[in-house]
Chains A and B, each alone.
Chain A
Amino acid sequence: MTDTSDPPDRGDDPSGDDDWYGEADPRVPDASAWPDRDLGFLGDDIYLGEEAQVAAELAGSHVPSVSAEGAAELRELERRLEQQRTPVFPIDLRRRLPLEAVWRRWRALAMWGRSDVVDDFGRDPRATARWEWLFEFLYSKWFRVEATGLEHIPAKGRALLVANHAGSLPYDSAMVMHAVRRDHPARRDVRPLVEDTVFHLPFLGPIMNRIGGVRADPENAERLLLKDELVAVFPEGEKGMGKLWKDRYRLQRFGRGGFVKLALRTGAPIIPVAVVGAEEAAPMLGKVTWFAKNIGIPWIPVTPTFPWLGPAGLLPLPSKWYVAFGAPIDLGKAHGPAAAEDRLLVNRLADQIRTQIQDMIDGLLGQRRSPVLSAFLG
């Protein structure tokens, strides 16, 4: 009976050094009984900071202990701090309920598949890695993409890839991106410029942004090029995506030549890119506009599979793709940055590049043996 009435944490030496500190408070567990160095007794939510860790190491057996008055004082300070700061999460509530652990678990869960650092334009490295397998599958298994001329892309430094838009869904920009990342020796990341209509599409827009897409805006493009990035631009824009099956592989007007001005101003070489196969992947037979405006898209595409098969109809058909990168055209060297103000010249250069890409497309189309069968068999 007498044995158990003794405070158990008095340890083996009840009349030892404790006198030094006067009468011990029975409510406070004795510091000498606490395990040395191991700060685990504080619970894993507590982090005392670098200095406390180092101090504990240096002091060897000494663990800073807090007396009852000290604890009360700290609590009072905490209360006053709590009054001052924004009540994000009341410390008092945190102490009483095991919410902290639940909240931590929730934070970890919510952060799954995303990183807490993104680049200036919103590309999330972890989200990019998360979608990698899908692009790899589409690239090598589904579309069986054959990329040629990758050696024309510089290993470093700025360049402007100018490509044709094809097909009613933006798979083409994803495949151009993936081709360079997968097969180019420097594994460079391409930043495709995305039209407003796609960029502000619910769900698809943010995903495009997380994997590297940037809203098509001259200021954005210039900023990227000045940072020596590879920028892919589809000057046909919305008109290119809205092409019907009967107009396939016929390049539309190249915007207002904004990409030429961009190349002239930044001195970035233009690399023409031709994408063949995308038109057959999602051939647009017609488009419906009357209801589309209500749900915030310019038109509802009608393809052989959509909307007949529902959302599954949005999956692309397994056509055979060819992506050809042409030799770089250095406009900056030939004309100088001041030429960006010369409207006639800009328009002429834009049309020259358009013709060149059209020729590249026609060349690739000519390689295919029969127009329809080989579009899928390759």
Chain B
Amino acid sequence: MASSSTGRVVAVTGACTYLGGELLRRLEEDPRYARVLALDVRPPALAPGGKTEFVKIDLTQPTIDGELATLLERHDVDTFVHGAFLSHPTHASEWAHELEDVGTMHVLNACAGVEPRRLVMVSTTLVYGAHPKNPNFLLEEAELRGHRDSRFVNDKVRAERQVQRFAKEHPRVEVCVLRFAPILGPTVSNMYTRFFSRPVAPVMMGHDPLMQFVHEQDAAYALQKAVESRAVGAFNVVGKGVLPYTTVLAMLGRVPLPMPQIIARQLTKVLWTTQLVGSPPSFLDFLLYLCVADGAKARRELGFSPRLSIKRTILDFLGMAPEDGATDVARAHG
């Protein structure tokens, strides 16, 4: 293909995730990109425009790295965006491990051979872990504590460590890791949107940590910026402002259910093993301790600053106009 002379070629894994899909849409509109390869196990809703090409790539296949490498070579891929990560915990933890940890290894194997100019990885601020010793604003250099007995978080930590090692071994590749705060918005679906969609939410009795979110549009914009820029390293992508957990619940109109820690842990353990809830017991730590990151580095080096405050983000997630009015007009005739 002779497309590389007219513009950049971007490959995106996890094209069916929210961020992947948004990125495809934005790259499609941008004339600086010649071709976009959408890699996933099923075809994404492709934007009309014809720049985007779907290639079926299953990262859990044992020899997928070779296939990926030939693909990258053939299309002369300039930027590789690795976003094939789960947005909510699953009971199929073996499969999740194959996809996130081993899948990242396959991606890095392919990149090690071809050496694209730029590698962008999607991660989350959950990798810092909720810990009583966390400062109010975690910097990118902070230790990735992960999370005890949570494969959902720990697989991402392992994937990040692999990418860090890769960055050291391949200084010619610009490696950029984006750690997104929990993403909220009207269309995105992840662990947090599911958690906050239930009418009742558990509260650890007597504890009320500060929480932080990023709006889905801000998150997509940050990813777009990361593909465009030449910045290297890890960046926290966070929204404006923080709010205490119980205030978030109050704004969402959810009923808080205060529980002593011991009871909450046993209850969620039972609910998780019987597959009645989507958040594992270890998630309760995030209702106990801080896990808030500082977005100053992304503003400085990536040129990304969020446009929406946490309050607007929450109202938008609720589908409410900021002036506190409902948005459904059809109801006048209902």
By a beta-carbon cutoff of 8 Å, the part of chain A in contact with chain B is 28, 41-43, 45-49, 66, 68, 71, 74-75, 77-78, 84-89, 91, 94-95, 100, 103-104, 106-107, 110-111, 114-118, 120-122, 124, 196, 200-206, 209-210, 214-215, 217, 219-220, 223
Residues of A within 8 Å of B196, CB to CB, are 88
Q: Is B208 an interface residue when CB atoms closer than 8 A count as contact? A: yes
Residues of B within 8 Å of A203, CB to CB, are 206
On whether the beta carbons of A103 and B330 are closer than 8 Å, the reply is no
Q: Is B51 an interface residue when CB atoms closer than 8 A count as contact? A: no
Residues of A within 8 Å of B330, CB to CB, are 66, 71, 74-75, 77-78
The distance in angstroms between the C-alpha atoms of A217 and B290, with both chains bound, is 13
Among candidates A71, A106, A122, residue contacting B253 with C-beta atoms closer than 8 Å: A106
Residues of B within 8 Å of A114, CB to CB, are 244, 246-247, 250
Q: Is B270 an interface residue when CB atoms closer than 8 A count as contact? A: no
Chain A residue with the shortest CB-CB distance to B294 = A223
Q: Is B303 an interface residue when CB atoms closer than 8 A count as contact? A: no
| Chain B contacts with A in 190-210, Cβ cutoff 8 A | 193-194, 196-197, 205-208, 210
Known: A107-B250, A206-B207. A86 touches B132 (CB 8 A): no
On whether the beta carbons of A214 and B332 are closer than 8 Å, the reply is no
Q: How far is the CB of A75 from chain B (nearest CB, A)?
A: 5
Residues of B within 8 Å of A120, CB to CB, are 136-137, 241-242
Among candidates B246, B289, B325, residue contacting A46 with C-beta atoms closer than 8 Å: B325
Q: How far is the CB of B252 from chain A (nearest CB, A)?
A: 8
Q: Is B318 an interface residue when CB atoms closer than 8 A count as contact? A: yes
On whether the beta carbons of B133 and A86 are closer than 8 Å, the reply is no
Q: How far is the CB of A86 from chain B (nearest CB, A)?
A: 5
On whether the beta carbons of A118 and B205 are closer than 8 Å, the reply is no
On whether the beta carbons of B242 and A122 are closer than 8 Å, the reply is yes
Give the number of chain B interface residues (Cβ < 8 Å). Answer: 51
Residues of A within 8 Å of B297, CB to CB, are none
On whether the beta carbons of A111 and B250 are closer than 8 Å, the reply is yes
The distance in angstroms between the C-alpha atoms of A95 and B323, with both chains bound, is 20
By a beta-carbon cutoff of 8 Å, the part of chain B in contact with chain A is 132-133, 135-137, 139, 186-189, 193-194, 196-197, 205-208, 210, 241-244, 246-247, 249-251, 253, 255-256, 289-290, 309, 311, 317-319, 321, 323-334
On whether the beta carbons of A47 and B323 are closer than 8 Å, the reply is yes
Residues of A within 8 Å of B249, CB to CB, are 110
Among candidates B136, B188, B246, residue contacting A214 with C-beta atoms closer than 8 Å: B136
Among candidates B186, B244, B333, residue contacting A66 with C-beta atoms closer than 8 Å: B333
On whether the beta carbons of A116 and B251 are closer than 8 Å, the reply is yes
Q: How far is the CB of B145 from chain A (nearest CB, A)?
A: 15
**B208, B255, B311, B324 — most chain A CB neighbours (10 Å):** B208
On whether the beta carbons of A49 and B311 are closer than 8 Å, the reply is no
Chain B residue with the shortest CB-CB distance to A49 = B321
Known: A86-B188, A122-B242, A200-B132. A46 touches B326 (CB 8 A): yes
Residues of B within 8 Å of A104, CB to CB, are 253
Residues of B within 8 Å of A91, CB to CB, are 319, 328
The distance in angstroms between the C-alpha atoms of A66 and B244, with both chains bound, is 42
Known: A86-B193, A120-B136, A223-B137. A202 touches B206 (CB 8 A): yes
On whether the beta carbons of B241 and A117 are closer than 8 Å, the reply is yes
Number of A-B contacts (CB under 8 A): 150
On whether the beta carbons of A223 and B333 are closer than 8 Å, the reply is no
On whether the beta carbons of A103 and B253 are closer than 8 Å, the reply is yes
Known: A110-B249, A118-B244. A74 touches B194 (CB 8 A): no
Q: How far is the CB of A146 from chain B (nearest CB, A)?
A: 34
On whether the beta carbons of B137 and A46 are closer than 8 Å, the reply is no
Q: How far is the CB of B125 from chain A (nearest CB, A)?
A: 16
Q: How far is the CB of B133 from chain A (nearest CB, A)?
A: 7
* Other A-B pairs beyond A88-B318, A117-B309, 10, CB < 8 Å: A71-B333, A75-B330, A84-B187, A103-B253, A111-B251, A114-B244, A116-B251, A120-B137, A209-B210, A219-B136
Chain B residue with the shortest CB-CB distance to A296 = B261
On whether the beta carbons of B324 and A47 are closer than 8 Å, the reply is yes
On whether the beta carbons of A66 and B135 are closer than 8 Å, the reply is no
The distance in angstroms between the C-alpha atoms of A232 and B107, with both chains bound, is 50
Q: How far is the CB of A131 from chain B (nearest CB, A)?
A: 15
The distance in angstroms between the C-alpha atoms of A117 and B196, with both chains bound, is 19
On whether the beta carbons of B186 and A85 are closer than 8 Å, the reply is yes
The distance in angstroms between the C-alpha atoms of A308 and B13, with both chains bound, is 65
The distance in angstroms between the C-alpha atoms of A41 and B249, with both chains bound, is 31
On whether the beta carbons of A118 and B207 are closer than 8 Å, the reply is no
Chain A residue with the shortest CB-CB distance to B324 = A47
Residues of B within 8 Å of A117, CB to CB, are 241, 243, 309, 311
Chain A residue with the shortest CB-CB distance to B198 = A88
A-B contact pairs, 30 of them (CB 8 A): A46-B331, A48-B329, A78-B328, A86-B187, A86-B317, A87-B197, A88-B196, A88-B317, A88-B319, A91-B319, A91-B328, A94-B328, A106-B253, A107-B251, A110-B249, A110-B253, A116-B243, A122-B244, A196-B133, A200-B132, A200-B207, A202-B205, A202-B206, A205-B207, A206-B206, A206-B207, A215-B136, A217-B133, A219-B136, A219-B139
What are the 8 closest A-B residue pairs judged by CB atoms, nearest first?
A47-B325, A202-B206, A74-B330, A110-B250, A71-B333, A206-B208, A219-B135, A203-B206
On whether the beta carbons of B325 and A45 are closer than 8 Å, the reply is yes
Residues of B within 8 Å of A42, CB to CB, are 332
On whether the beta carbons of B189 and A68 are closer than 8 Å, the reply is no
On whether the beta carbons of A206 and B197 are closer than 8 Å, the reply is no
The distance in angstroms between the C-alpha atoms of A77 and B318, with both chains bound, is 18
Q: How far is the CB of A52 from chain B (nearest CB, A)?
A: 9
Residues of A within 8 Å of B193, CB to CB, are 86, 88
Residues of B within 8 Å of A84, CB to CB, are 187
Chain B residue with the shortest CB-CB distance to A221 = B135
Residues of A within 8 Å of B188, CB to CB, are 86
The distance in angstroms between the C-alpha atoms of A209 and B244, with both chains bound, is 10
The distance in angstroms between the C-alpha atoms of A203 and B318, with both chains bound, is 29
Residues of A within 8 Å of B205, CB to CB, are 202
On whether the beta carbons of B324 and A88 are closer than 8 Å, the reply is no
Q: How far is the CB of B291 from chain A (nearest CB, A)?
A: 13
Among candidates B137, B289, B319, residue contacting A219 with C-beta atoms closer than 8 Å: B137
Among candidates A68, A100, A118, A204, residue contacting B333 with C-beta atoms closer than 8 Å: A68
Known: A107-B253, A110-B253. A210 touches B244 (CB 8 A): yes
The distance in angstroms between the C-alpha atoms of A149 and B137, with both chains bound, is 34
Known: A120-B242, A205-B206, A217-B136. A86 touches B333 (CB 8 A): no
